[in-house]
Amino acid sequence: MNLLTLSIKNLQRRKLRTGLSMAGVAIATAALFSLLSFNTGFDRALQEEMANSGIHMMASTEGCPLEAASLALHGGEIPKFLDARRLTEIGDIPGIRTAAGMLIFSLIEDEGKAIFFYGVGDNYRDLKPHWQIRGEWFSGPNSIILGAEAARVEKREVGDKVYFPDIDAEFTVSGIVERTGSEDDGFFFLPLETAQKVFEKQGKLTAVGISLANVEEFEQVKGKIETLPDVYVVTKDQIMQQISSLTGSSKTLMAAVLVVALVVSFLGVINTVLMSVFEMLREFGYMRCIGASPSHIFRIVLFETLLLCLGGGVTGVVFGMIFASVTDEWLHNLLPYAPAGRFILFDPLVIAASVLFAALAGGLAGIIPGLKAAHASPMEAVRNV
């Protein structure tokens, strides 16, 4: 038996109250774990998506080039278009390995869900070297390549036909891109000329994706592209920054909710332990009679609070991990621009930080009740009532 045993037995004495307080800490810690995981997971997913895109910079027309670039990456219709002649001019600039034109359109299906069409040229493949295509690249003007998720939703296989009544067009599935974990999984890819014809945008492009032969020539190439009329360049870093700033307010809101949850939970723990201390004041006073020092009593209460918060912290992280996929889906729906891939991954550092935070909060929450208990009067304890 030691002081820790006493603390554990004290907690067991009021199982319901202990359980409820622990649940409060668990909820707060699960929220903390999810937010920390999200913060690191979001940036990682964004970087992975950018890396997978194979694009060093994007060229689009005037307006809001950053938004245009973000939409080009994540799906979205942009009402301004670039003259398709710019594609050849950009491709002729020395230092550019690939310049791939894209025309992006969306259709809203009956259920209100948007489907995105990407009109792309043959050199678009150079920007996606990691793509594994089941079937083949475009076999003709009426062929279509589906992302893995799009194929699953449409229940189509290579060779199947797919009809879109809104544009009154039928295509034959020439290939299906194996799952990439990026937004590409949900897209419908058409030959560029076909897309321009179907969507009546001949000679127009939404953007040009550019990869460089040598990234050290980044600034020179960018400068040369920007000399072309009506062409604006956004870099990969700018796109990432733009997306991060767009999600910034959501992150701030979530952080604010988290702070409230943490404060409520923290006060809840202090309240629980303080109530327990008030109930046990005579017992602590008697312990002082039989030789317990204020430090002994303080440690008993502190251990109690630490156990409460550690128990809640570990439970919260476990639940956070169990419900990670649900949280992930919720965040993907909530955020304006969510990169594909999972946000909440089991990062040992985040797990350790969440549990450590709970323990630290427990340590702080134990101070006031601990001091109260440590000053229990032995005389008051033994007074006959």
**Contact positions vs other proteins (CB under 8 A):** 1-3, 6, 9-10, 12-13, 282-283, 286-294, 296, 378-379, 381-384
Closest distance of CB 299 from other proteins, Å: 11
By beta-carbon proximity to other proteins, the closer residue of 22 and 90 is: 22
By beta-carbon proximity to other proteins, the closer residue of 14 and 251 is: 14
Does residue 234 contact residue 60 with C-beta atoms inside 8 Å? yes
Closest distance of CB 267 from other proteins, Å: 26
Does residue 229 contact residue 108 with C-beta atoms inside 8 Å? no
By beta-carbon proximity to other proteins, the closer residue of 364 and 381 is: 381
Closest distance of CB 1 from other proteins, Å: 5
Closest distance of CB 24 from other proteins, Å: 23
Does residue 26 contact residue 310 with C-beta atoms inside 8 Å? no
Closest distance of CB 381 from other proteins, Å: 8
The Cα–Cα gap between 38 and 344 comes to 6
By beta-carbon proximity to other proteins, the closer residue of 10 and 247 is: 10
The Cα–Cα gap between 290 and 273 comes to 23
Does residue 302 contact residue 369 with C-beta atoms inside 8 Å? no
The Cα–Cα gap between 131 and 344 comes to 25
By beta-carbon proximity to other proteins, the closer residue of 10 and 315 is: 10
Tokens of 260: 């409230």
By beta-carbon proximity to other proteins, the closer residue of 237 and 279 is: 279
Beta strands of the chain (E only): which ranges? 57-60, 82-83, 96-108, 114-120, 133-135, 143-147, 161-164, 169-177, 188-191, 204-205, 207-212, 232-235
Closest distance of CB 379 from other proteins, Å: 5
